[in-house]
Amino acid sequence: MRIVTTVFAASLLAAAALGPEPLVAQSAACDRACLADVMTAYLGSLVAHDAKAAPLAANARFTEDARELPIGDGLWKTATKLRPFRTDFLDPQTGTAAVHAVVEENGAPVLLAARLRVANRRITEIETIVVRSQQEGALFAPDALTQATPAMTTPPPAAQRMAREAMAEMALRYPAGLRVGSFEKSDVPFAPLAYRFENGVRMAGPGCTFRPPSCESMRSQQLPTLAGIVAHVVAVDEENGTVLLWMDFGPGSLPGPANAAPRSLVTFEAFKVYGGQVHAVEAMFEGMPNGTASGWR
């Protein structure tokens, strides 16, 4: 779904945010606790090198870095440890469990972003991004991710929770801003202390490292214009006030040598949204060939 440059129409948001209707009925029996347990079992199966330890459906499918692989391949063969950093994004309405996590391969840290689709308490789809180095991810500071951040994981007060459609609309203003090169033009209502982590690097907000002090204001921060950006909603966690987007930043987002195949940044990017504001943004991304498709969407 290509992001428009103006405030999004209700019909667009309904299509992007709510997901396919049949899946809602199929996954209704798996609540947030169930989805979290499914994610725990999946992560455990990685370090056990045993895909059968995860509750997989018979027809489960798996991609790593947008490439379809056999179940049990990829990170299942190489992961050796789970580090404490883990942030879940749980959406019972669409049967989606997603995660930002740090794992290890023989002591070396690896960034993992994953989306699981769950139906009848079984995993039917697994879509992962695995980042092992700065060369793969442009930014790479996994050792800075020691624990999940309270700003992203603490549920908002009940009175400040928003409807899922409004949460999705607010998060989608972010890629709309990148499309036109301005969060002010797309009217992203960042909270005063809002920040952005990218692959563990604090790129915006108080204490930012990217051209301070200009990066301290999320709303007025200077941005590239990424006219080819595309995005869709992966999960809306209404109870925790988080929205997860899949985005391909498009041509120009990851400059490289003239003789190299063009690449762009692809991300699972999370937004803390409540009380009419965006309070935090956390992304895990990797450079992939231009036009990379998203998993099974």
Is 144 inside any structural domain?
A: no
| Residues paired with residue 196 on neighbouring β-strands, in sequence order | 204, 281
- How many whole angstroms separate alpha carbon 34 and alpha carbon 26? 14
Q: Which two tokens stand for residue 101?
A: 């996590």
Assess whether pLDDT exceeds 50 at residue 129.
Answer: yes
Angle between helices 164-180 and 10-18 (to 10 degrees): 110
Average pLDDT over residues 177-206: 96
Is 145 inside any structural domain?
A: no
In a shared domain, residues 158 and 125? no
What's 80's domain CATH number? 3.10.450.50
Strands 56-64 and 122-131: what pairing? Answer: parallel
Is 169 inside any structural domain?
A: yes
Is 143 inside any structural domain?
A: no
In a shared domain, residues 285 and 156? yes
pTM (two decimals):
0.89
In a shared domain, residues 278 and 261? yes
Is 243 inside any structural domain?
A: yes
**Residue of 177, 139, 145, 155 lying closest to 286 (CA atoms):** 139
Give the tens place of pLDDT for each residue, 266-281. Answer: 999 999 999 999 999 9
Q: Which two tokens stand for residue 30?
A: 């798996």
**Residue of 238, 233, 198, 234 lying closest to 3 (CA atoms):** 233
Counting the structural domains of the chain, the total is: 2
In a shared domain, residues 264 and 242? yes
In a shared domain, residues 60 and 44? yes
Assess whether pLDDT exceeds 70 at residue 9.
Answer: no
Give the tens place of pLDDT for each residue, 225-266. Answer: 999 999 999 999 999 999 999 999 999 898 876 667 888 999
